[in-house]
Amino acid sequence: MLKFRSKSPKGEMNIWLTSMGLTVGLVMIIGLFSLIVVRGLHVFWPKNIATYHLKEDAKSKMGPNAVLSAIEVKKVQKKLAGAEEGPAEFQIFIGNKDVYGLPFKFLPEAEIARIEYEKDVMIVERLEYGDAILKPVELMLEDGTRIKAGSKNFIEKLHEAVEIGTDRRLDILKIEKGKIGVVSDKIANLKDDIARYHYHAKKKGTDPSEKVAKAHEKIEKLESEFATFSGEARDLHELQEKAILSYRLASGQEKSMPVAEIVEFALPNQLNFSGKVKSFAHSFWGFLSQNPREANTEGGIFPAIFGTFMMTVLMSIAVMPFGVIGAIYLREYAKQGPLVRIVRICVNNLAGVPSIVFGVFGLGFFIYVVGHGIDDFFYPWREGRPTWGTGGILWASLTLALMTLPVVIVATEEALAAVPRGVREAALACGASKWQMIQRVVLPTAAPGILTGLILAMARGAGEVAPLMLVGVVKVAPSLPVAGSWPFGMDQKFMHLGFHIYDLGFQSPDAEAAKPMVFATTFFLILLVVLLNLGAIRIRNILRKKYAAGTF
Amino acid sequence: MIHVDDFSFWYGEKQALHHIEMMIPEQKITALIGPSGCGKSTLLRNMNRMNDLIDGVKHEGDITLDGTSLYDPSVEVISLRKRVGMVFQKYNPFAKTIYENVVFALRVAGNRNRKELDEVVERALRGAALWEEVKDRLHDSAFGLSGGQMQRLCIARAIANRPQILLMDEPCAALDPIATLRIEELMQDLKKEYTIVIVTHNLQQGARCSDKTAFLFEGKIIEFDDTDKIYNNPSEQKTMDYITGRFS
Ligand SMILES: Nc1ncnc2c1ncn2[C@@H]1O[C@H](COP(=O)(O)OP(=O)(O)O)[C@@H](O)[C@H]1O
Ligand SMILES: [Mg+2]
């Protein structure tokens, strides 16, 4: 019988090395990903509110603020000189910016006498000044009825009052953004018309006064409409002040606020698990669907999600035809020789150019040359009020399309090259011209590979921030980058998740408050990129299944 | 009728065909046999100018189809290929449905008449003895078929436009014996309508199904005669050696 010596063959070490490399990479990716998911989702989980009673000696220093209701953020060990561990401190979230100034505070563990979890502490998300942590005292409804906190239907009534306020806030928004927005758009258009009349009249030497007078008449009419709508909005605003919630802080200080200021409230110390899950889902959805408030540190990120989505879609629409057509020319038509090789090398190297360079190019070419050109040609009377000669979602998308073009070209070329020769010959043998062969046989066969290129391009484009800062991303956009009529909002500035992260993390006035938002926003950016990619992968799989490559 | 008239062919510097002289009869099966690399495919692919696609080729002499030269400037390659269909060694259906595969030639010719296309699909698939097997899944992907079915689909695709001539380059090389048998039977049916030129590596197959046989060796025609004569009583020693398997 033969016996095999288990002597490891040459090269076994290298297998270990490759698997180790893979493991390191995987661990890093999984680690980063779970960090973002855990920290990002943790933001929405309702946390219990502790009430900290400080010791006597601290009381003399802090006065009435020696009792604080707050959420523990983390416990830290203060570092002393000489690397010695110092006393422990709690970082706590006290909220109530309007009273305390700073919403976060460090509390030395040694100063705390006891910690209590009171059932009736409430956390209230407000339109302004962030969250408040409070104990409700009394609710005064719009009709003047007063309900004491602790009475049976207090919470229910408060919910109702908050709902009335929210509904009315939406009504106000409808008037302000909708009706008033339409009117002021019309006024702006008329003013633009007047400028145009003057411009044309000056050029032709005619008298514009008749047309101008007509426009002015219309503007006056619109302005009176404007006043009516503003009056409506003002009346509603007044109503919003009527229902009042009075409350007490942990220090005993009494305060009150209009119920309409409340976005949401919760009593986390009373919530059981399913209640917390519900509250989690609620905040999650709120973050997803609301507009940001308070310099982006409060509220949601909906405009940023929408802007990112829109930009990625526009970019894909722009990059696909150019990339595919370019690759078709390079691979199918151009005579393969040194020139084509050089072009190919250049295209490949373009993928390595830092993205900010594309941003500068987008600013210089799309905005200053193309945009200003369009403005000068089509709207010469709008001097100093650029329409296209300023950053906007179209230019941003085109800039990123340019940046991701090499990815699409390279992937498409590879996909074209992988189309078997036999299929091409068969098409020609059937009497197809070269273009018919490419269009009807080669492209469908290469479609999954081309989509892989698009997927890579989207993954790169959606997460890009630097070039966007030059070509149209803003911290707060007045409106979403869509519109019902030409140019469909494509000239609008827009918000973007990547920039939002940068803005929150590095530009925010309140770094502590921004930190959880950064994680949550990052989570959604990754989620959006993953979803967009899954969409493209799905299309690719459908194509693959339809033309399952079988034996090829 | 195809007349190959003193035809020579070069790939760059390398001469692949030397002064080929052949008259291919109508509605018969003509087989090209010979050791691999002897130029069978090259000759066949010149009959619908498939070799034009390759860089650096040149030719001398002529090939005529019903008296007109294939290289006549007035002959459009595309319309030529409509008259001369081709089936390749490796079945190569398109990434399309069975139906679209069959009507491809008509589609590129701009035919959009649904009724006509439907008729062509049925006729071509029946002609390729595939109709009964696929008539219920005409709109499924062609890649769902077996190898033999795919090759018959390629034949259907080649005959959809009713070409005069059908060129087949080792059509059974990638198939199992049963599928091969079906294709051979099919060829007997097809020759009633089409002139067939087939390249084969398989001597039994050549003997079984062809009417005329040409033996090529190193780019030259050694012998071209009735199949019976070539296999039973060849005039040339080289043919004899090849038939009897003394070299290949
Ligand atoms: N595209 C090509 N470029 C250069 N030489 C080729 C090409 N195709 C075939 N040849 C050469 O021409 C000769 C004939 O080839 P081919 O006709 O394919 O032979 P067969 O089909 O009889 O096996 C071979 O020597 C082959 O190497
Ligand atoms: Mg061959």
Pocket of ligand 1 (CB under 6 A): B 11, 14, 16, 34, 36-42, 54
Q: Which of A284, A270, A272 is nearest to A155 (CA)?
A: A270
For ligand 1, atom 9, which residue shows the shortest CA distance?
Answer: B42
pLDDT of residue A550: 41
Q: Which ligand has the minimum distance to the alpha carbon of residue B35? A: 1
Contacts of A423 in chain B (CB under 8 A): 92, 94-95
Could you give the CA distance from residue A239 to residue B29 in angstroms, rounded to a whole number? 96
| Pick from B90, B96, B158: CB nearest A444 | B96
Whether B85 and chain A come into contact, CB under 8 Å, resolves to yes
Residue B133 belongs to a domain: no
Whether B19 and chain A come into contact, CB under 8 Å, resolves to no
Could you give the CA distance from residue B54 to residue A480 in angstroms, rounded to a whole number? 55
Contacts of A450 in chain B (CB under 8 A): none
CB-based contact B85 A548, cutoff 8 Å: no
Residue A393 belongs to a domain: yes
| Pick from B85, B90, B141: CB nearest A429 | B85
Average pLDDT over residues B95-106: 92
Whether B197 and chain A come into contact, CB under 8 Å, resolves to no
Question: Based on the domain organization, do A466 and A357 belong to the same domain?
Answer: yes
Give ipTM to 2 decimals.
0.91
Residue B154 belongs to a domain: no
Residue B107 belongs to a domain: no
Which chain A residue has the Cα nearest residue B95? A547
Contacts of B94 in chain A (CB under 8 A): 423, 426-427, 440-441, 444-445
Residue B57 belongs to a domain: yes
Q: Which of A488, A485, A514 is nearest to A500 (CA)?
A: A514
Whether pTM > 0.90 for this model: the answer is no
Please give the structure tokens belonging to residue A126: 């407000």
C-alpha torsion angle, residues B117, B122, B123, B128 (rounded to 10)? 120
**Edge-first strand listing for the sheet containing A112-116:** A104-108, A85-93, A67-79, A50-54, A112-116
Whether B157 and chain A come into contact, CB under 8 Å, resolves to yes
pLDDT of residue A478: 81
Tell me the Ramachandran region of residue B129: left when phi exceeds 0, alpha when psi lies from -120 to 50, beta otherwise: left
Q: Which ligand has the minimum distance to the alpha carbon of residue B52? A: 1
Contacts of B159 in chain A (CB under 8 A): none
Number of domains in chain A: 3
C-alpha torsion angle, residues A429, A434, A439, A441 (rounded to 10)? 30
| Mutation choice for A interface testing from B87, B99, B104 by most A CBs within 10 A | B104
Question: Based on the domain organization, do A177 and A66 belong to the same domain?
Answer: no
CB-based contact A431 B79, cutoff 8 Å: yes
C-alpha torsion angle, residues A185, A187, A188, A191 (rounded to 10)? 160
Residue B150 belongs to a domain: no
Non-local CB neighbours of A59 within 8 Å, separated by 6+ positions:
A66
Could you give the CA distance from residue A30 to residue A472 in angstroms, rounded to a whole number? 33
CB-based contact A420 B50, cutoff 8 Å: no
Residue A188 belongs to a domain: yes
Domain containing A491: what range? 306-406+443-546
pLDDT of residue A7: 60
Which tens digit of pLDDT belongs to each residue from A153-184? 899 999 999 999 999 999 998 998 888 888 88
Q: How far is the CA of B46 from the centre of ligand 1 (A)?
A: 12
Q: Which of A429, A433, A366, A375 is nearest to A399 (CA)?
A: A366
Average pLDDT over residues B71-98: 90
Could you give the CA distance from residue B153 to residue B102 in angstroms, rounded to a whole number? 7
> A302: number of CA atoms within 13 Å, CB side?
14
- Yes or no: say if A92 and A52 are a contact pair by the CB < 8 Å rule: yes
* Residue A92 DSSP class: E
Question: Based on the domain organization, do A66 and A120 belong to the same domain?
Answer: yes
Question: Based on the domain organization, do A332 and A447 belong to the same domain?
Answer: yes
Non-local CB neighbours of B199 within 8 Å, separated by 6+ positions:
B31, B32, B33, B40, B41, B44, B168, B169, B170
Contacts of A548 in chain B (CB under 8 A): 141, 143-144
Non-local CB neighbours of A507 within 8 Å, separated by 6+ positions:
A475
Which is higher by pLDDT, A548 or B154? Answer: B154
E-assigned strands of A169-299? 244-248, 254-258, 262-266, 292-293, 298-299
CB-based contact B96 A436, cutoff 8 Å: no
Could you give the CA distance from residue B84 to residue B166 in angstroms, rounded to a whole number? 6
Which helix (H) or strand (E) segment is A87 a member of?
Answer: strand A85-93
- Yes or no: say if A490 and A481 are a contact pair by the CB < 8 Å rule: yes
CB-based contact A431 B105, cutoff 8 Å: yes
Of A200, A218, A242, the residue that ends a domain is A242
Q: What is the mean pLDDT of chain B?
A: 91
Could you give the CA distance from residue B95 to residue B75 in angstroms, rounded to a whole number? 30
Which tens digit of pLDDT belongs to each residue from A27-40? 999 999 999 999 99
Q: Locate tokens 């990547």: which residue?
A: A498
Could you give the CA distance from residue A434 to residue A458 in angstroms, rounded to a whole number? 31
Residue A141 belongs to a domain: no
Which tens digit of pLDDT belongs to each residue from B176-218? 888 888 889 888 988 998 999 999 988 888 899 899 999 999 9
- Yes or no: say if A91 and A102 are a contact pair by the CB < 8 Å rule: no
Residue A500 belongs to a domain: yes
Could you give the CA distance from residue A127 to residue A543 in angstroms, rounded to a whole number? 48
| Nearest CA distance, A506 vs chain B (angstrom) | 51
For ligand 1, atom 27, which residue shows the shortest CA distance?
Answer: B37
Residue A346 belongs to a domain: yes
Helix-helix angle A443-462:A302-328, to 10 degrees: 140
| Mutation choice for A interface testing from B76, B92, B97 by most A CBs within 10 A | B92
Q: Give the CATH number of the domain where residue A396 resides.
A: 1.10.3720.10
Tell me the Ramachandran region of residue A95: left when phi exceeds 0, alpha when psi lies from -120 to 50, beta otherwise: left
pLDDT of residue A551: 34
Non-local CB neighbours of B182 within 8 Å, separated by 6+ positions:
B129, B148, B152
Which helix (H) or strand (E) segment is A74 a member of?
Answer: strand A67-79
Index of the ligand 1 atom closest to the CA of residue B43: 17
Q: What is the number of other CB atoms lying within 10 angstroms of the CB of residue A275? A: 14
pLDDT of residue A210: 85
Of A219, A242, A265, the residue that ends a domain is A242
Bridge partners, A79 (sequence order): A85
Q: What is the pLDDT along chain A (552 residues), one digit of tens a residue?
A: 555 555 666 767 888 889 999 999 999 999 999 999 999 999 899 999 999 988 887 777 777 778 888 888 888 887 766 666 778 888 999 989 888 888 888 888 888 888 989 988 999 999 988 899 999 999 999 888 999 988 888 999 999 999 999 999 999 989 988 888 888 888 888 888 888 888 888 888 888 888 888 889 999 999 999 999 999 999 999 999 999 999 999 888 999 999 999 998 999 999 899 999 999 999 999 999 998 988 788 889 999 999 999 999 999 999 999 999 999 999 999 988 999 999 999 998 988 899 999 999 999 999 999 999 998 888 888 877 888 888 899 999 999 999 999 999 999 999 999 999 899 999 999 999 999 999 999 998 899 899 999 988 998 888 889 999 999 899 888 888 887 777 888 888 999 999 999 998 888 877 787 888 899 999 999 999 899 889 888 988 888 777 655 433
Q: What is the number of other CB atoms lying within 10 angstroms of the CB of residue A218? A: 15
Question: Based on the domain organization, do A382 and A485 belong to the same domain?
Answer: yes
Query: Residue A487: is the preceding peptide bond cis (ω within 30°)?
Result: yes
For ligand 1, atom 21, which residue shows the shortest CA distance?
Answer: B41
Pairing state of beta strands A122-126 and A262-266? Answer: antiparallel
Question: Based on the domain organization, do A178 and A95 belong to the same domain?
Answer: no
Q: Locate tokens 């089509």: which residue?
A: A378
Q: How far is the CA of B173 from the centre of ligand 2 (A)?
A: 10
| Nearest CA distance, A344 vs chain B (angstrom) | 21
Residue A157 belongs to a domain: yes
CB-based contact B78 A432, cutoff 8 Å: yes
CB-based contact A550 B78, cutoff 8 Å: no
Got the DSSP string for A120-165?
A: T-EEEEESSSSEEEEEEEEEE-TTS-EEETTSTTHHHHHHHHHHHH
Task: Tell me how many residue pairs between chain A and chain B have CB atoms under 8 A apart.
Answer: 82
Please give the structure tokens belonging to residue A306: 């929408």
Non-local CB neighbours of A131 within 8 Å, separated by 6+ positions:
A93, A95, A96, A103, A123, A124, A125
Residue A337 belongs to a domain: yes
Length of chain A: 552
Whether A450 and chain B come into contact, CB under 8 Å, resolves to no
Residue B74 belongs to a domain: yes
Q: B117-126 as b/e, with b when 16 or more CB fall inside 10 Å?
A: beebbebbbe
Could you give the CA distance from residue A541 to residue A535 in angstroms, rounded to a whole number? 10
For ligand 1, atom 12, which residue shows the shortest CA distance?
Answer: B16
Whether A337 and chain B come into contact, CB under 8 Å, resolves to no
Three-class SS of A487-550 = CCCCCCCECCHHHHHHHHHHHCCCHHHHHHHHHHHHHHHHHHHHHHHHHHHHHHHHHHHHCCCC
Got the DSSP string for A240-274?
A: HTTSEEEEE-TT--EEEEEGGGEEEEE-GGG--HH
Contacts of A428 in chain B (CB under 8 A): 50, 53, 81
Residue B193 belongs to a domain: yes
Whether A549 and chain B come into contact, CB under 8 Å, resolves to yes
Q: Give the CATH number of the domain where residue B56 resides.
A: 3.40.50.300
Contacts of A549 in chain B (CB under 8 A): 95, 143
Domain containing B181: what range? 2-95+163-243
Number of domains in chain B: 1
Percentage of residues in chain B having pLDDT higher than 90? 64
Q: Please say if the pLDDT value at position B246 is more than 80.
A: no
Pairing state of beta strands B165-169 and B195-199? Answer: parallel
Question: Based on the domain organization, do A153 and A58 belong to the same domain?
Answer: no
Could you give the CA distance from residue A100 to residue A132 in angstroms, rounded to a whole number? 10
Non-local CB neighbours of A153 within 8 Å, separated by 6+ positions:
A147
Radius of gyration of chain A (CA): 31
Whether A408 and chain B come into contact, CB under 8 Å, resolves to no
Residue A172 belongs to a domain: yes
Whether B173 and chain A come into contact, CB under 8 Å, resolves to no
Of A127, A162, A188, the residue that ends a domain is A127
pLDDT band (50, 70, 90) for residue B248: low
Contacts of A447 in chain B (CB under 8 A): 95
Q: Which of A461, A475, A482 is nearest to A397 (CA)?
A: A461
Q: What is the number of other CB atoms lying within 10 angstroms of the CB of residue B36? A: 9
